[in-house]
Amino acid sequence: GAGVSQSPRYKVAKRGQDVALRCDPISGHVSLFWYQQALGQGPEFLTYFQNEAQLDKSGLPSDRFFAERPEGSVSTLKIQRTQQEDSAVYLCASFTGSSYNEQFFGPGTRLTVL
Amino acid sequence: GQNIDQPTEMTATEGAIVQINCTYQTSGFNGLFWYQQHAGEAPTFLSYNVLDGLEEKGRFSSFLSRSKGYSYLLLKELQMKDSASYLCAVRDTGGFKTIFGAGTRLFVKA
């Protein structure tokens, strides 16, 4: 596609539910990031993939958060047993992998946990 | 530790020039980015600096001093549509992990 797409755009979950957020990166982009952005804050790094390999997951806030990219393209961020503090916008970004290139961000998924 | 500081808010007048500062202390450095983010939208790339000095791109310029851990974004001939948050971000070495500041909300008034 022309850009990074994410689905759903909005998700409301009851506390304790599991959610799955999807990211379709730009075709050919080997690198993919997930970020969490709270209201009025900058994006916070969660995890990074190069192709299907998850090279850095140091930003995942707890073991309830899990990300995968099994075929090196589409990625899914899963949050188990959601808590109210998980409410945020989850941004996905992709880039070609060269040291210069900027990341292209998707529109984000706004997650609200009630 | 990782720390990126930028002012929370700034106000400027249409047609004027504004400078948004960013200071950083990070464990590694492999380039500094500036992104623009309108409310409710995704960040979009503005500039990238990896060497000291000034990079100019149209109405936007970005400066970097690695020894001082300092950068600024300069916006000239401000327009109302420039009202947005401006995010300073540092890419770590040894990978592509990128740390973002909290952003500076710029309000452009007529």
For an interface test with A, the pick among B26, B34, B98 (most A C-beta atoms closer than 10 Å) comes out as B98
- Among the partner-chain residues A56, A105, A107, the one whose CB lies closest to the CB of B97 is A56
- Among the partner-chain residues B33, B89, B95, the one whose CB lies closest to the CB of A48 is B95
- Among the partner-chain residues A42, A100, A105, the one whose CB lies closest to the CB of B48 is A100
A-chain CB neighbours of B99 within 8 Å are: 45
**Cβ atoms within 10 Å, residue A77:** 24
Residue of A nearest to B9 (CA): A40
| B68 lies within 8 A of chain A by CB | no
Confidence band of B96 (pLDDT split at 50, 70, 90):
confident
How far is residue B45 from each of residues A5, A39, A95, B82, measured CA to CA in Å?
A: 17, 20, 12, 14
A-chain CB neighbours of B98 within 8 Å are: 33, 45, 103
What's residue A16's pLDDT? 97
For the residues B73-102, what does the mean pLDDT come to? 92
What's residue B92's pLDDT? 84
| A52 close to A71: Cβ distance less than 8 angstroms | yes
Flag whether pLDDT at A84 surpasses 70: yes
For the residues B59-84, what does the mean pLDDT come to? 97
Among B61, B87, B57, B56, CA closest to B75: B61
Strand, helix or coil at B82? Answer: helix
Digit-coded pLDDT (tens) for A41-83 = 999 999 999 999 999 999 999 999 999 999 999 999 999 999 9
Confidence band of A96 (pLDDT split at 50, 70, 90):
confident
Token pair listed for A14: 């009851």
Flag whether pLDDT at A7 surpasses 60: yes
What's residue A102's pLDDT? 83
Angle at A98 between CA B22 and CA B19, to 5 degrees: 20
What's residue A99's pLDDT? 60
**Cβ atoms within 10 Å, residue B30:** 16
| B42 close to A91: Cβ distance less than 8 angstroms | yes
| B33 lies within 8 A of chain A by CB | yes
Alpha-carbon gap, residue B87 to B91, rounded angstroms? 13
Flag whether pLDDT at B73 surpasses 70: yes
Question: Using DSSP, how many helices (H) and how many strands (E) does chain B show?
Answer: 0, 11
Flag whether pLDDT at A1 surpasses 60: no
How far is residue A95 from each of residues A17, A40, A55, A73, B61, measured CA to CA in Å?
A: 31, 25, 15, 12, 23
Tell me how close the Cα of A45 comes to any Cα of chain B, in angstroms: 7
Digit-coded pLDDT (tens) for B14-57 = 999 999 999 999 888 989 999 999 998 999 999 999 999 999 98
Which residues make Cβ contacts (< 8 Å) with residue A60, sequence separation at least 6? A46, A47, A66, A67
Rg (CA), chain A: 13
- Among the partner-chain residues B31, B43, B50, the one whose CB lies closest to the CB of A43 is B43
Q: Do A48 and B97 touch (CB under 8 A)?
A: yes
| B43 lies within 8 A of chain A by CB | yes
Among B56, B57, B72, B61, CA closest to B24: B72
Among A20, A4, A5, A42, CA closest to A111: A20
Flag whether pLDDT at A100 surpasses 80: no
Share of chain A above pLDDT 90, in %: 89
